[in-house]
């Protein structure tokens, strides 16, 4: 893999050279730049170097294939998952659910830092959002095996009437695949987190993979649940934390 861009200007230029539309390049840059600024380098500019070596359909566009009050179904169409999830977020901001909605995206990979997407929905539309997505097998069974399941992260955002939302974004690996790609961790470190309790992270990874597979099908996909909040628990929780940094804080 080639070296990652070292500046925002270089990052933009290399995205533009991928042969994608300027709008798509803007979406990707916004995601990677946000990750860099938050210190999530495994999801930052290093992913541009990775994309430069990946085969993907430059012309593919996500499509809303079915919609009801309760469920939206999207087909990523083999477009980059980043573009699929941004399209979904924009649609939910424009037309938020009256109460609660399940969103299923098929053929949707890679999806990046999931916290980025749920944060948008909390900040832009005041929605609770829960998102998970599958990836190629990365994690072995804690008792020993070939890689059986993906790191299959889970992200949750809870909006607040006072200040920023709480945003939880947890991979089931002790490190992320992105950190391995960026040279920040070794492949041997990519195991279920938890040490002696690693079976718990492995179980979560399996459960999330099968949940997405049952709803989105055999290819990599994403499942999101969004809802309008009935209560506002974040200010009270921040008061109890008494100034401690909470998940998703800058």
- DSSP-derived letter for residue 113 is -
Task: Indicate whether 87 pLDDT > 70.
Answer: yes
Supply the pLDDT for residue 59.
Answer: 87
Reported as a pLDDT band with limits 50, 70 and 90, residue 62 is very high
Nearest one of 135, 182, 188 to 2, comparing CA atoms: 182
Supply the pLDDT for residue 126.
Answer: 98
Rounded CA-CA distance 200/120 in Å is 29
Reported as a pLDDT band with limits 50, 70 and 90, residue 1 is low
Rounded CA-CA distance 16/22 in Å is 7
Query: pTM of the entire structure?
Result: 0.95
Q: What is the pLDDT of residues 113-170, one digit of tens each?
A: 999 999 999 999 999 999 999 999 999 999 999 999 999 999 999 999 999 999 999 9
Give me the domains of the chain, ranges plus CATH numbers: 1-55 (1.10.1530), 60-241 (3.30.1370.60)
Percent of residues, the chain, with pLDDT higher than 70: 99
Reported as a pLDDT band with limits 50, 70 and 90, residue 56 is confident
Cis peptide before 214 (omega within 30 of 0): no
Supply the pLDDT for residue 55.
Answer: 86
- Pairing between β-strand 139-140 and β-strand 166-170 as defined by DSSP bridges: unpaired
Average pLDDT over residues 48-60: 89
């Amino acid at each position: 893999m080639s070296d990652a861009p070292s500046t925002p200007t270089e990052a933009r230029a290399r995205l533009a050279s991928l042969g994608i539309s300027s709008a798509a390049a803007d979406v990707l840059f916004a995601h990677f730049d946000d990750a860099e600024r938050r210190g999530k380098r495994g999801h930052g500019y290093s992913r541009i170097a990775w994309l430069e070596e990946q085969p993907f359909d430059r012309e593919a566009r996500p499509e809303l294939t079915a919609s009801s009050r309760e469920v939206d179904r999207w087909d990523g169409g083999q477009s980059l998952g980043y573009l699929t999830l941004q399209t979904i977020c924009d649609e939910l901001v424009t037309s938020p659910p009256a109460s609660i909605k399940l969103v299923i995206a098929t053929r949707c990979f890679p999806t990046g830092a999931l916290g980025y997407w749920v944060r948008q929905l909390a900040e832009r539309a005041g929605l609770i959002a829960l998102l998970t997505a599958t990836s190629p097998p990365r994690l072995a069974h804690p008792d020993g095996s070939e890689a059986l399941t993906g790191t299959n992260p889970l992200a949750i955002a809870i909006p607040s009437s006072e200040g920023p939302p709480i945003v939880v974004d947890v991979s089931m690996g002790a490190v992320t695949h992105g950190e391995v790609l960026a040279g920040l961790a070794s492949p041997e470190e990519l195991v279920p987190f938890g040490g002696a309790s690693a079976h718990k992270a492995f179980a979560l990874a399996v459960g999330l993979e099968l949940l997405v597979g049952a709803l989105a099908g055999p290819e990599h996909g994403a499942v999101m649940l969004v809802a309008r909040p009935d209560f506002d628990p974040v200010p009270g929780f921040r008061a109890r934390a008494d100034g401690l940094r909470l998940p998703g804080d800058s």
